[in-house]
Amino acid sequence: MNILAIESSCDETAAAIVRDGRDILSNVVSSQIDVHQATGGVVPEVAARLQLETIGPVITESLKQAKLDWEAINALAVTSGPGLVGSLLVGVETAKALAYSRNLPLIPVNHLAGHLYACLAQETSWQFPYLGLIVSGGHTELVLMESHRKFTLVGSTRDDAAGEAFDKVGKLLGLSYPAGPEISALAAKGNSQAIAFPRAMLDQANFDFSFSGLKTAVLREISSNSPSKKDVAASFQQAVADALAIKTVRAAGEYKPTAVLLGGGVAANTLLRRTLKNALANLAIPLLATPPVLATDNAAMIGLAAFWQKDRALQDKQVLDLTADPNAPLASPASANVS
């Protein structure tokens, strides 16, 4: 089964073709980073307009790279939320038009589910439950995945997302947007023990995170002590990785998953991958981290998720009822949070 997937939830316009939930035949991503660097972040109206300009050529390119024509496509998939409404609408309306006119089923996919399935591309024998840590520019969530249908929210950030913290600290350090990769490169040359930044909420009996205090601590440190940028980057990155790893390991102890999944843009961070892997080793729980090429937003992850959720496919006129949902939740909250 060949699924052509479309992802346009934020500032990447992406299309991919995925066969049987495993083989990525093409994965085309057009990024708007250059444009948003000038404003130091994403301006939603600009993002939506650029999505509109690029989506057609990106879809055509995904077919070309996979060496397939439309006759070989069995279904369409699209990110229906969460994300920026204007950006999401471009992907959703394009997918609806294509599905209806070509008489193909359309599978709506939650963007965060995509980040989780990006970790599961190589999974052959499904061994539920998995515990997923999604760390991106907009989200920081711990999700228990008990089946392809059942996702339960176990913890989330109370304020900034982990990627947002990287981007805000990057701004304080005079780095360009998005700052994650640059902070990580600077940190490699710095001392992660140089500055004792806080690891928030560790004494609380829940699996939630908080990163806004860390950002304020970085601001205070920069304005009062003029430390080296390398040491700030290294100490900040270590504080984020520690906070994420400690809470994730606690949740893993509670929910006893067969593996922990690490997905989302921040999952490209080498220190985070290493810290989490080592911390889980004590519990003998393996880490399935997303391949770095599938960490930041792309459509292959939507095509992977769509195959396993194809029972949600909309057929015929049903496809016209699909709407973009900027706040689409992946999971309902767990009834009790215990540590």
List residues binding ligand KG4 (CB under 6 A): 10, 136-138, 163, 166-167, 178-181, 184, 264-266, 268-269, 296-297
CA dist 330 to 34, 146, 154, Å?
30, 13, 11
Is the bond preceding residue 57 a cis peptide, omega within 30 degrees?
no
> If binding is defined by CB under 5 A, does position 298 make contact with Zn ion?
no
Residue 48 C-beta: closest distance to ligand KG4, Å: 16
The Cα–Cα gap between 285 and 200 comes to: 24
The Cα–Cα gap between 73 and 52 comes to: 22
Residue 84 C-beta: closest distance to ligand KG4, Å: 10
In the numeric block, which tokens belong to residue 314?
Answer: 């909309």
Residue 178 contacts which entry, ligand KG4, Zn ion, none (Cβ below 5-8 A, type-dependent): ligand KG4
In the numeric block, which tokens belong to residue 24?
Answer: 């990525």
In 176-204, which positions are buried (b, 16+ CB within 10 angstroms) versus exposed (e)?
ebbbbebbbebbeebebebbebebbbeee
Residue closer to ligand KG4 (CB basis): 138 or 155: 138
Residue 257 contacts which entry, Zn ion, ligand KG4, none (Cβ below 5-8 A, type-dependent): none
Selected range binding Zn ion among 31-39, 71-79, 124-132, 297-305, rule: CB under 5 A? 297-305
Cβ neighbors of 51 (< 8 A, separation 6 or more) are: 8, 13, 86, 87, 90, 91
Residue 120 C-beta: closest distance to Zn ion, Å: 16
Query: Which x/- pattern over 257-296 shows residues binding Zn ion (rule: CB under 5 A)?
Result: ----------------------------------------
Query: Which x/- pattern over 130-159 shows residues binding Zn ion (rule: CB under 5 A)?
Result: ------x-----------------------
In which residue are the tokens 């394009």 written? Answer: 94
Residue closer to Zn ion (CB basis): 141 or 231: 141
Residue closer to Zn ion (CB basis): 12 or 242: 12
Residue closer to Zn ion (CB basis): 66 or 116: 116
Residue 41 contacts which entry, Zn ion, ligand KG4, none (Cβ below 5-8 A, type-dependent): none
In the numeric block, which tokens belong to residue 309?
Answer: 């959720």
Residue 132 C-beta: closest distance to Zn ion, Å: 13
The Cα–Cα gap between 88 and 154 comes to: 26
Residue 184 C-beta: closest distance to ligand KG4, Å: 4
Cβ neighbors of 76 (< 8 A, separation 6 or more) are: 3, 4, 5, 6, 95, 98, 99, 104, 105, 106, 107
Residue 78 C-beta: closest distance to ligand KG4, Å: 15
The Cα–Cα gap between 258 and 255 comes to: 9
The Cα–Cα gap between 46 and 270 comes to: 31
Residue 296 contacts which entry, Zn ion, ligand KG4, none (Cβ below 5-8 A, type-dependent): ligand KG4
Residue 180 contacts which entry, Zn ion, ligand KG4, none (Cβ below 5-8 A, type-dependent): ligand KG4
Residue closer to Zn ion (CB basis): 11 or 221: 11
Residue 268 C-beta: closest distance to ligand KG4, Å: 4
Residue 180 C-beta: closest distance to ligand KG4, Å: 2
Q: What is the per-residue DSSP string for 229-272?
A: HHHHHHHHHHHHHHHHHHHHHHHHHHH--SEEEEESGGGG-HHH
Selected range binding Zn ion among 12-20, 27-35, 129-137, 148-156, rule: CB under 5 A? 129-137
Q: What is the per-residue DSSP string for 43-106?
A: -HHHHHHHHHHHHHHHHHHHHHHHT--GGG--EEEEEEESS-HHHHHHHHHHHHHHHHHHT--E
> If binding is defined by CB under 5 A, does position 297 make contact with Zn ion?
yes
Which residues form the interface with Zn ion (CB under 5 A)? Answer: 136, 297
